[in-house]
Amino acid sequence: MLIKEITEGRYDPYTNKAIFFAGGAGAGKTFIARQLASTFHGLKQVNPDIALKHLLKKTNLSLKMPPEEEYFKNLLRQRSKQISGRSQQIYQREKLGMLIDTTGRSYMMIADTKKELEDAGYTTAMIFVDADLATQLKRNTTRERQVPEKVIKNNYNTIKQNQGKYEQLFGDQFFYINNSQSAQGKIEDNIQQLEKNLRNFLK
């Protein structure tokens, strides 16, 4: 994936705003993002998964990421992180608003990035998309790029343990949404409340 030339200026929407978008594979971040598309409009997306899918297709590797392709997959994952990191540096230099996609597995990485952004003049927030393990495993089977089941299980416990840390780190700008299958009856109302909170943050 090539990094497109930045032509935006400092008067674009949501300058100096950054939202971390956290949740494990199968939690349903893509679904939540689609529901909030109008709210996110104007934010630059920092998402290594987009680059990874592009690189997997370009090299004719499976999006289901079978074990026999793990070595090549890891090489492409590192490359995708470099691409998204370079994009983030460009956006940050131009003070553009960002939506930073992450699983939330690495607390220290997010804490360090948050501090770097705030030192550069940004205001930050986090959307934490949660779903129980059974829901994540089931949804993973329908994803275009599937994650090995053992990875989802390992990451699930780590991400859940980090949830409380993120609540403390982001304070009033920590926005939680339960997207488990059992919570779908309330998801529409919860998304509306989340959208209201985000619009207030982005003002």
Q: What is the pLDDT of residue 12?
A: 63
What homologous superfamily is domain 17-46+97-202 in, according to CATH? Answer: P-loop containing nucleotide triphosphate hydrolases (3.40.50.300)
Nearest to 178 by CA among 168, 190, 169: 190
More confident residue, 195 or 74: 195
Q: Which helix (H) or strand (E) holds 2?
A: none
> Given a cut of 80, is residue 51 above it in pLDDT?
no
pLDDT, tens digit, 9 for 90 and up, residues 122-145: 999 999 999 999 999 999 999 887
> Given a cut of 70, is residue 6 above it in pLDDT?
no
Distance CA 80, CA 51 (A): 5
pTM: 0.84
Rounded to the nearest 5 percent, the helix, strand and coil shares of the chain are 60, 15, 30
Distance CA 184, CA 174 (A): 21
Distance CA 125, CA 95 (A): 16
Q: Are 110 and 166 in contact (CB under 8 A)?
A: yes
Six-digit token pair at 24? 């494990």
Q: Mean pLDDT in the chain?
A: 88
Report phi then psi at 5, rounded to 5: -65, 135
| Domain chopping of the chain, boundaries | 17-46+97-202
Q: What is the pLDDT of residue 144?
A: 82
Q: Average pLDDT of 100-109?
A: 94
State the Rg of the chain over Cα.
17
